[in-house]
């Protein structure tokens, strides 16, 4: 079906769908399930120690021989340790974010590792391309978790980059299935990265309490906190209300950081503290009606993609 697709050819996958690396959500169960079902499953190293990451890589390899990736947010305190493990383990794909991939791409390529980098504006896309990455993930402000300072939407960012990058382009932020994939390809992207839909899957390692809560979020249930220094899309709750009130009152970044403290995201997404934890999720969560397994997500995605393409074809008749 996607034999001519640049992203599928580059990564050796059946469908041009990457499961975004996600703290507390994307361990070996989710990553291996996505890879087994034809996408690229990605371990989220941003909430792992190096040793734990190594075990997770081994577990994915026990489950499947298909390609998989590891996401490392480069500003994370254990980034260097995790990157070294990815290199020594020769993981098939690295997806870096939040920082510059320049120092790593050369060594990764020598080992045959493909590198993608997540960007949220055109300037960082150009820098990533100059750093020698193999593909670009452009993530709009609809997306769950940490977003770019410029707060550009997926729709605009994808069109901006589709015209300027020569690399395979992956559009991220606001996708939950095949209609979105067809739209992204129509905009000029080669594939999509989905995070929230997979965070709310059976195989996600997040708390069941968090997953069940996502079904009640609704379309206006997420907010963007920390404008100007670290925009983050989360489910609205007591924690985010307090953080936004601080922001409105003109509190300094230090004061806002102090309110966030440490361990907030673990408390929310792993431990299921729905009021005082940080619950990262994208706007698309408003469309979720059930916690689906990965097989069903991918099966429905392919069926909806086919329907969407037929609808588009019909407009030419
Ligand atoms: C719970 C959660 C945690 C995330 N953690 C990370 C992370 O550790 N590193 C990263 O690069 N992106 C992270 N993201 C972003 C995803 O990888 C992905 O790009 C994004 O979710 C796509 O938008 P969507 O949420 O609309 O699907 C996270 C997203 C969510 C929902």
Q: Which residues contact 91 (CB under 8 A, 6 or more apart)?
A: 57, 68, 69, 70, 113
**Helices (H), ranges, 91-195:** 102-110, 122-130, 154-162, 178-187
Report CA(22)–ligand 1 centroid distance (Å).
5
22 Cβ closer than 6 Å to some ligand 1 atom: yes
Q: What is the pLDDT of residue 219?
A: 73
Report CA(144)–ligand 1 centroid distance (Å).
5
Distance separating alpha carbons of residues 208 and 65, to the nearest angstrom: 28
97 Cβ closer than 6 Å to some ligand 1 atom: yes
Report CA(119)–ligand 1 centroid distance (Å).
12
Largest Cα–Cα distance in the chain?
60
All structural domains of the chain, each given as residue ranges with its CATH number in brackets, are 6-205+290-314 (3.20.20.70), 208-285 (no CATH)
Judge if pTM exceeds 0.85: yes
118 Cβ closer than 6 Å to some ligand 1 atom: yes
pLDDT tens string for the chain (317 positions)? 999 999 999 999 999 999 999 999 999 999 999 999 999 999 999 999 999 999 999 999 999 999 999 999 999 999 999 999 999 999 999 999 999 999 999 999 999 999 999 999 999 999 999 999 999 999 999 999 999 999 999 999 999 999 899 999 999 999 999 999 999 999 999 999 999 999 999 999 999 999 999 999 887 799 999 999 999 999 999 999 999 999 999 999 999 999 999 999 999 999 999 999 999 999 999 999 999 999 999 999 999 999 999 999 999 98
Q: What is the pLDDT of residue 102?
A: 96
Q: What is the pLDDT of residue 187?
A: 97
Q: What is the pLDDT of residue 317?
A: 87
């Amino acid at each position: 079906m996607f034999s001519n697709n640049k992203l599928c050819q580059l990564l050796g996958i059946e469908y041009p769908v990457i499961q975004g690396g996600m703290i507390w959500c994307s361990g070996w169960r989710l990553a291996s399930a996505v890879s087994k079902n034809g996408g690229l499953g990605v371990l989220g190293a941003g909430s792992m120690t190096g040793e734990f990451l190594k075990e997770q890589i081994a577990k994915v390899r026990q489950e499947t021989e298909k390609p998989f990736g590891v996401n490392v947010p480069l500003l994370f305190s254990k980034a260097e340790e995790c990157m070294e493990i990815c290199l020594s383990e020769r993981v098939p794909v690295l997806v870096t974010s939040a920082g510059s991939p320049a120092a790593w791409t050369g060594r990764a390529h020598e080992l045959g590792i493909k590198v993608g980098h997540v960007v949220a504006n055109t300037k960082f896309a150009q820098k990533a391309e100059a750093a020698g990455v193999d593909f670009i993930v452009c993530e709009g402000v609809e997306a769950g978790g940490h977003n770019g300072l410029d707060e550009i939407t997926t729709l605009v960012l994808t069109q901006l980059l589709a015209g300027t990058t020569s690399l395979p382009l992956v559009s991220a932020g606001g996708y939950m299935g095949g209609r979105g994939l067809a739209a992204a390809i129509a905009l000029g992207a080669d594939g999509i990265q989905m995070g929230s839909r997979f965070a709310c899957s059976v195989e996600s390692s997040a708390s069941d309490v968090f997953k069940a809560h996502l079904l009640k979020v609704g379309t206006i249930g997420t907010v963007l906190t920390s404008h100007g220094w670290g925009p983050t899309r989360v489910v609205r709750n007591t924690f985010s209300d307090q953080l936004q009130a601080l922001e409105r009152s003109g509190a300094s970044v230090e004061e806002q950081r102090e309110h966030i403290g440490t361990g907030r995201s673990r408390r929310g997404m792993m431990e299921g503290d729905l009021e005082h934890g940080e619950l990262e999720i994208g706007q698309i969560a408003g469309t979720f009606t059930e916690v689906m397994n990965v097989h069903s997500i991918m099966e429905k995605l392919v069926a909806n993609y086919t329907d969407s393409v037929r609808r588009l074809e019909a407009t030419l008749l």
